[in-house]
Amino acid sequence: MLQRCGSQLAEVLRGDCDPVQLLFPDGDLNLTTQLYQESTGAKMMNNLVKQVILTALSNKTPESPLKILEIGAGTGGTTAYVLPELDQLSTEYVFTDVSSLFTEKARQQFQAYSFVDYRVLDIEKDPKTQGFLLQHYDIILAANVVHATQDLQQTLTHIRQLLTSQGMLVLLEGTRPLRWLDLIFGLTEGWWRFTDTDLRPTYPLISPSQWQQLLEKNGFVESIVLSPDSNPDSFLSQQGVMVARNAEDINTEAKNWLILGDRQGIASHLVQTLESKGENCIVAYSDSHYQQIGAKDYQVNPQNEQDISRLLEKKQFDQIIYLWGLDDPSEEDLTIDTLETGSENHCRSILQLIQNSYNKPPRFWLVTKGVMATDKNDPVVSITQSSLWGLGKAIALEHPEFNSVCVDLEINTELKQQVKVLLEEINANSPENQIAFSKNTRHVARLVPQKLSTATTQPRQLTISQRGTLENLQWQPLNRHSLKSGEVEIRVKATGLNFRDVLNALDLYPGDAGPLGCECVGEVISKGEDVELMNIGQEVMAIASGSFRDYVIVDAGMVTPKPDSLTIEEAATIPVTFLTAYYTLHHLAKIKKGDRVLIHAAAGGVGQAAIQIAQKVGAEVFATASVGKWNTLRQLGVSHIMNSRTLDFAEEILTITEDEGVDIVLNSLSGEFISKSFAILKDNGRFVEIGKSLKLEGKYPTQPSQEEIPPTPLGKGGQLPTQLSQEGKAEGLDIHSQLKPDAAYFQVDMFKVCQEEPELVQSMLCHLREQLQTGNFQPLSYQVFPREDAISAFRYMQQAKHTGKVIVSYSDRE
């Protein structure tokens, strides 16, 4: 080769001969292959490289395949020595060269080695843009190639980017000027194309010590130079194998950091570490005015929007670390003023930082200390900084492109430790965005299943935060009170829902409806001293104001034992319905055998109870209900069934009774239904009003006819188009005096009755209980809703879909 090139030197220098033709005549690689592979020197050096690789292999733990990248592998002279030593099952070998001519030839040459991949790589260019994975290769091998690049430092930077942390670089290079090499490869332009003349002023090769210095300067450690002869002047030491390890911290791309610095020292430690890795940092401290206080240090006024903008103009920041919160006053020094100003300053500056970084969002680190209580016994000591977490979560949701992370450092740990965990978090590049350190443990945010509160936990009551919409119904903690004399405390098992509760929740009840719930079934858990009839543990039915709660206290007179034959839910259909029906029909209307009784809305709770009571005394029942509920009435044995949504019932009753009319009206309907009902009442009849009149305001036909009255006012869509009228009583009374002055008229309020006539109520409850116990009365049909779904129960009744009773059950607690 030397003879070939030397004899043509003059022609080459004159430009009459292409030196590439001399090295690779017509693309033939054989001559150079022999030189790189078969010559004595090549054999010796390639064997040395092989030994180095074998040593590296022996130290490698076999957790994952060994990844080797060969750069500028060319004719494969060194490759041929290394490949036979590798285990094909545990090795990935990438053969690269700047020219596809070499990679294609190599593909044929090394086809026996199936674990080899062949790719083009120009190590003078950013390897990432050429599709190579960064920090991926355990060993990078480059034989007689790196010297041929323009800038050794730049080449080493690219090599380092490709190496894993602690990965190994193996370089085979000529280490002193060699005239025979100049006469061969020196003929090509590539030999002389170096531009790093501060390092290589006149010649492409550098000495072993220069290599070591260069490697150390460029992020490699533990560099050694291996040579077959320790005498540097020996012929055998004209080449060397340089081996070095990648330093652990790899900086693939220097980043720009803006650190909103604290004054406790975390910022300065961070800067020290980051800059030692080649990162660019600017630190800004919170102060009264804008000022540059050092080469890269500033102070800014967090309340001044322009200060933040000026900072952000300094650089395109890749990362922003917000540490200002760490300087907030301690709990002892906290005042309302410092709390307000602190929170406001944080929020204002962060908002500014975010709003001014939309173009290229940096990663945002919000660092706090002692904000997150990771255990329920942990104190939250830094209230001012809490606003940072609130804002951090909002940024994460609304601007995920900022990749913002909240890191809460542990209080009472050394500064060094705080810096360490913060740096580890920053370097980890983890997907977590809420991290809190506490008791030497790293916590991240997770949703965990939470068991609903049970009997052993806080008792609850159903409340309405604001009347008007059922969505505002919610179970709230209940405070239990001590018993007064004559009271019992009931652990509620089921609550009967009443129309009154629906009106109460919707803010449509005229007057004060009190707390939600009028009745319940449950177990007596305690009783006042003078309560004798009730036993602890006894299951009872009760009229109980505020009965939508776990425990309710009531007057013992409003309680009666649950009939053994009834289930909890069956018993819950009884108190208000039967008491109202019994009181109105027996006590007021004095119902007797042969009476004709019109029961409006008879498929409802009171209606069904009234049917049973009327039937029991042998009265003739006329009942109204919406058409869909007629079957329920038929099953109850009612034969005169009419529509509760039209006024036709009056005509129909007159026809059936041959214009005689009825003796008793049990009414809960409103408007024209009242006058129509009066019209068919006998002159000396009894009209019992249990409803609260609804003013139908334009929805009601002025001339009632066969025409269907608009759907139930509480029906379609769940909206009430009407308002309850306070004048309901007067309305009925007026009609009464005009139409049937000789009839008895009763306006009933069972709650007043319970308050004013407790003995009467107690005796009626006892009587009803006996009747149920003996089977004379039957519990009503019902629909049950679990208490967590109480809103649905209310909505169901609001839409008048039900027949019988709607029950809310607490069986989830059992």
Ligand X SMILES: NC(=O)c1ccc[n+]([C@@H]2O[C@H](COP(=O)([O-])OP(=O)(O)OC[C@H]3O[C@@H](n4cnc5c(N)ncnc54)[C@H](OP(=O)(O)O)[C@@H]3O)[C@@H](O)[C@H]2O)c1
**From 179-187, 262-270, 456-464, 576-584, span contacting ligand X (CB under 6 A):** 576-584
Residue 588: name the closest of 531, 677, 663, 674 by CA. Answer: 663
Is residue 96 a contact partner of residue 72, using CB atoms and an 8 Å limit? yes
- Min dist CB 579 to ligand X, Å, is 8
With respect to ligand X, which residue has the nearer C-beta, 419 or 625? 625
Q: Does 714 bind ligand X (CB under 6 A)?
A: yes
Q: Does 606 bind ligand X (CB under 6 A)?
A: yes
Beta pairing, strands 596-599 & 662-667: parallel
Other residues' Cβ atoms within 10 Å of the Cβ of residue 28 = 11
- Min dist CB 652 to ligand X, Å, is 16
Q: Does 653 bind ligand X (CB under 6 A)?
A: no
The pair of structure tokens assigned to 240 is 């060397």
Is residue 567 a contact partner of residue 521, using CB atoms and an 8 Å limit? no
Is residue 494 a contact partner of residue 809, using CB atoms and an 8 Å limit? yes
With respect to ligand X, which residue has the nearer C-beta, 527 or 805? 805
- Min dist CB 678 to ligand X, Å, is 18
Q: Does 517 bind ligand X (CB under 6 A)?
A: no
d(CA 317, CA 360): 8
With respect to ligand X, which residue has the nearer C-beta, 308 or 665? 665
- Min dist CB 659 to ligand X, Å, is 26
**From 97-105, 275-283, 329-337, 711-719, span contacting ligand X (CB under 6 A):** 711-719
Q: Does 797 bind ligand X (CB under 6 A)?
A: yes
Rg, Å, the chain Cα set = 47
- Min dist CB 712 to ligand X, Å, is 4
d(CA 27, CA 51): 32
Q: Does 644 bind ligand X (CB under 6 A)?
A: yes
Is residue 661 a contact partner of residue 596, using CB atoms and an 8 Å limit? yes
Q: Does 640 bind ligand X (CB under 6 A)?
A: no
- Min dist CB 804 to ligand X, Å, is 7
In 3-state terms, what secondary structure has residue 297? strand
The pair of structure tokens assigned to 189 is 């332009």
Binding mask 195-214 for ligand X (x = CB under 6 A): --------------------
Amino acid identity of residue 449, one-letter, is P
Question: What residues does 695 pair with on adjacent strands?
Answer: 723
d(CA 152, CA 211): 10
d(CA 161, CA 246): 9
**From 155-163, 209-217, 389-397, 623-631, span contacting ligand X (CB under 6 A):** 623-631
Is residue 33 a contact partner of residue 207, using CB atoms and an 8 Å limit? no
**558 exposure class (CB count in 10 Å sphere: 0-12, 13-18, 19+):** buried
Is residue 137 a contact partner of residue 168, using CB atoms and an 8 Å limit? no
**From 1-9, 603-611, 612-620, 785-793, span contacting ligand X (CB under 6 A):** 603-611
Strands of the 405-409 sheet, one edge to the other:
291-292, 297-300, 280-286, 256-261, 319-322, 363-369, 405-409, 434-438, 441-444
Q: Does 795 bind ligand X (CB under 6 A)?
A: no
Q: Does 72 bind ligand X (CB under 6 A)?
A: no
With respect to ligand X, which residue has the nearer C-beta, 493 or 645? 645
In 3-state terms, what secondary structure has residue 660? coil
Q: Does 576 bind ligand X (CB under 6 A)?
A: yes
- Min dist CB 674 to ligand X, Å, is 13
- What do you get for the CA distance between the two ends of the chain, in Å? 97
Other residues' Cβ atoms within 10 Å of the Cβ of residue 330 = 11
Among the listed residues 206, 367, 419, 601, the single contact to ligand X using CB under 6 A: 601
Torsion angles phi and psi, residue 72, rounded to 5: 55, 45
Q: Does 580 bind ligand X (CB under 6 A)?
A: yes
With respect to ligand X, which residue has the nearer C-beta, 12 or 750? 750
Task: For helices 152-162 and 208-217, give the axis angle rounded to 10 degrees.
Answer: 60
d(CA 517, CA 526): 20
Among the listed residues 498, 504, 725, 762, the single contact to ligand X using CB under 6 A: 498
Q: Does 626 bind ligand X (CB under 6 A)?
A: yes
Among the listed residues 255, 629, 736, 787, the single contact to ligand X using CB under 6 A: 629
Residues 406-465 that bind ligand X (CB under 6 A): none
- Min dist CB 799 to ligand X, Å, is 8
d(CA 565, CA 779): 10
**From 31-39, 305-313, 422-430, 712-720, span contacting ligand X (CB under 6 A):** 712-720
Residues in the chain, overall count: 814
**From 281-289, 520-528, 575-583, 655-663, span contacting ligand X (CB under 6 A):** 575-583
Biggest distance spanned by C-alpha atoms of the chain: 145
d(CA 557, CA 748): 20
**From 38-46, 170-178, 205-213, 596-604, span contacting ligand X (CB under 6 A):** 596-604
With respect to ligand X, which residue has the nearer C-beta, 322 or 796? 796
- Min dist CB 647 to ligand X, Å, is 13
Among the listed residues 369, 460, 500, 795, the single contact to ligand X using CB under 6 A: 500
Residues 536-555 that bind ligand X (CB under 6 A): none
With respect to ligand X, which residue has the nearer C-beta, 219 or 804? 804
Q: Does 29 bind ligand X (CB under 6 A)?
A: no
Binding mask 171-190 for ligand X (x = CB under 6 A): --------------------
The pair of structure tokens assigned to 549 is 């709660």
Among the listed residues 127, 563, 604, 732, the single contact to ligand X using CB under 6 A: 604
**From 217-225, 407-415, 605-613, 728-736, span contacting ligand X (CB under 6 A):** 605-613
**603 exposure class (CB count in 10 Å sphere: 0-12, 13-18, 19+):** buried
Give the nearest residue (CB) to ligand X: 604
Other residues' Cβ atoms within 10 Å of the Cβ of residue 433 = 20
| E-assigned strand segments in 415-571 | 434-438, 441-444, 460-464, 473-477, 487-497, 519-527, 539-543, 551-555, 559-561
Is residue 432 a contact partner of residue 442, using CB atoms and an 8 Å limit? no
Beta pairing, strands 239-246 & 163-174: antiparallel
Residues 662-681 that bind ligand X (CB under 6 A): 668-669
- Min dist CB 767 to ligand X, Å, is 18
**From 39-47, 391-399, 621-629, 648-656, span contacting ligand X (CB under 6 A):** 621-629
Is residue 789 a contact partner of residue 586, using CB atoms and an 8 Å limit? no
**From 288-296, 331-339, 446-454, 602-610, span contacting ligand X (CB under 6 A):** 602-610
- Min dist CB 725 to ligand X, Å, is 13
Q: Does 633 bind ligand X (CB under 6 A)?
A: no
Among the listed residues 690, 696, 761, 765, the single contact to ligand X using CB under 6 A: 690
d(CA 456, CA 731): 50
Torsion angles phi and psi, residue 661, rounded to 5: 85, -165
Binding mask 746-765 for ligand X (x = CB under 6 A): --xxx---------------
Interface size with ligand X, residues (CB under 6 A): 29
- Min dist CB 605 to ligand X, Å, is 4
- Min dist CB 510 to ligand X, Å, is 11
- Min dist CB 746 to ligand X, Å, is 10
Q: Which residues fall within 8 angstroms of residue 530, CB to CB, at 6 or more apart?
A: 485, 486
- Min dist CB 664 to ligand X, Å, is 15
Per CB under 6 A, residues contacting ligand X are: 498-500, 576-577, 580, 601, 603-607, 625-626, 629, 644-645, 668-669, 690-691, 712-714, 748-750, 797, 800
